[in-house]
Amino acid sequence: MFNLLKYRDMKYEKEFPIFKTKVPGVEKKFNLADVSERKEYFEQKAGEEIAKLKKYFDEGRTFIVYLLGKKNAGKGTYTKLMMEVFGKDKIGHISVGDVVRDVHECMENENEKKELLEYLKNNYRGYISPEDGVNALLSRDQKTLLPNEFIMALVKREIDKMGKRALFLDGFPRNLDQVSYSIFFKELIDYRQDPDIFAAIDIPEAVIDERMKYRVICPICHTPRNLKLFATEKVGYDEEKKEFYLICDNPDCNGARMSAKEGDNMGIESIRERLEMDEKLIKKVFSLHGVPKIFLRNAIPVSVAKDYADDYEITPEYYYEYDDDTKTVKTLKRPFVVKDDEGIEVYSLLAPPVGLALIKQLVKTLGL
Ligand SMILES: [Zn+2]
C-alpha cells in the first residue's frame, strides 16, 4: 500500500503536476464551446503569457514541440487551439500519420509523384531506394520495414513547406528508435537555433475509451462530436431504433445526422497495442536528460478539483430525455467521473484549460 501511494504521489506531484487553471479574480463562467468566449477566456487567464509569446513570434523566433500522448489524447485539438490563439501564420501542425497518408494521394498525380521522388533523391539517405520506400509505404508491405530515415525525409519535406512557424509535431517519435532521432532532429532539419520541447499528455485510458465509444462524425463536413461528452445544439431521437443522435451544428450541413465510425464501439481494446507503445514512448522521453519538457494533464482528481479548476473547465456528461407528447429532446448534463489508470476518481478537463497549461509552460520553458 505504501508503495502504491508513493507511486501515485510521484505520478501526480512530480511527473504530471496538477496545473491550476482557476485564476483569482477571474469570476466569469465562460462557455468554452464558443469561439469568442474562448478567446476572452484565454485573454483573461493568460493574457500576459499570450502577449509574451506573440512578441516572441513577432521577433521571428519559433520552436518545435514534439507532442507525446496516447492515441486520441487530443494532440490535434491542442494544436488547433494554439492556432486559434496565435494565428495559423505563426503555428504549424504536422501529423506524421497525415504525412504518410498524403503520400498515397501524391502518387495518383504524375507531377506530384515526380516532385516527391525528386525531393527524396535530394534529401533522403538510407539503405533502401526512394522508390522502394514509396512502394513499401503504399502497399503497407509489412516485410519491408520503412526506415526511420525515410519517414524523417517525408516530415522534413512537410516542414520545408511550412515556412517560418512554430511547429507542433504529432506522431514523431512514433517508436523507441525514433526517440534518438528526435534528439537531433532540430539539427538535422537545420531548424535555425530555435528550441525544441517535448510535451507529454497524460490521459486516463477510461477517457480515451469513452471518447471512442461515443464518437460520432458528420457525414458531410466530418466534424467529430461525442454523444456523451460533446453534444451538439440540436439532438434528435430515432423512434424506431430508440436512440438519440446528434445533429451537425454546421448550417451548411442542413441538419445532417451524425453517426459512429465502424469499429469505434469496440473502444480502447482495438488500439491496445498502440497505447502500450505510446506509454513506453512517454516513459522513455521522461528519462531523457537535457531536453525541456512540458507536462499536460487531461484529468484532475475529484478530491482536489474545486481548488484547481473552475466548473466550466470540466467535461460534463450529456444525457437526454425524450418527450413523447411534444416530440422533443431535452439535453441534460451531469458531472462525468471516471477512474484513472491508478484507480483514482477523476474529472476530465476540456481542451481549453489544457491549452492554458500549455501556454503557461511554454512561456516558462522558453524563459520569456
Ligand atoms: Zn456537418
Q: How far is the CA of 35 from the centre of ligand 1 (A)?
A: 17
Q: How far is the CA of 261 from the centre of ligand 1 (A)?
A: 15
Mean predicted confidence (pLDDT) in 232-258:
95
Cell numbers 471516471 label which residue?
338
Q: How far is the CA of 255 from the centre of ligand 1 (A)?
A: 8
Residue 248 contacts residue 306 (beta carbons within 8 Å): no
Q: How far is the CA of 248 from the centre of ligand 1 (A)?
A: 5
* pLDDT given at position 132: 87
* pLDDT given at position 191: 65
Q: How far is the CA of 251 from the centre of ligand 1 (A)?
A: 8
Q: How far is the CA of 40 from the centre of ligand 1 (A)?
A: 26
Is the per-residue pLDDT at 15 higher than 70? no
Q: How far is the CA of 17 from the centre of ligand 1 (A)?
A: 37
Question: pLDDT for 279-298, tens place per residue?
Answer: 998 888 888 888 899 999 99
Question: pLDDT for 208-231, tens place per residue?
Answer: 999 999 999 999 999 999 999 999
Question: pLDDT for 332-364, tens place per residue?
Answer: 999 999 999 989 999 999 999 999 999 999 999
* pLDDT given at position 293: 92
Q: How far is the CA of 231 from the centre of ligand 1 (A)?
A: 13
Q: Please give the Cα distance from 353 to 30 (Å, whole number).
A: 11
Per-residue confidence at 187, pLDDT binned at 50, 70, 90?
confident
Per-residue confidence at 5, pLDDT binned at 50, 70, 90?
very low
Is the per-residue pLDDT at 96 higher than 70? yes
215-217 and 224-226 as β-strands: parallel, antiparallel, unpaired? antiparallel
Centre a 10 Å sphere on the Cβ of residue 88 and count the other Cβ atoms it contains: 12
Q: How far is the CA of 217 from the centre of ligand 1 (A)?
A: 8
Question: pLDDT for 39-54, tens place per residue?
Answer: 999 999 999 999 999 9
Which residues are registered as beta bridge partners of 67? 170, 199
* Averaged confidence pLDDT in the chain: 89
Is the per-residue pLDDT at 10 higher than 90? no
Residue 203 contacts residue 74 (beta carbons within 8 Å): yes
* pLDDT given at position 245: 97
Question: pLDDT for 133-156, tens place per residue?
Answer: 888 888 866 666 678 888 889 998
Residue 75 contacts residue 170 (beta carbons within 8 Å): yes
Q: Which residue type occupies 21? A: T
Q: How far is the CA of 215 from the centre of ligand 1 (A)?
A: 14
- Residue 238 — φ and ψ, nearest 5°? -95, 105
Q: Please give the Cα distance from 353 to 314 (Å, whole number).
A: 9
Is the per-residue pLDDT at 160 higher than 70? yes
Per-residue confidence at 4, pLDDT binned at 50, 70, 90?
very low
Closest CA to 216 of 257, 266, 269, 267: 257
Cα dihedral 352, 173, 120, 130 in deg (nearest 10)? -130
Q: How far is the CA of 229 from the centre of ligand 1 (A)?
A: 18
Is the per-residue pLDDT at 104 higher than 90? no
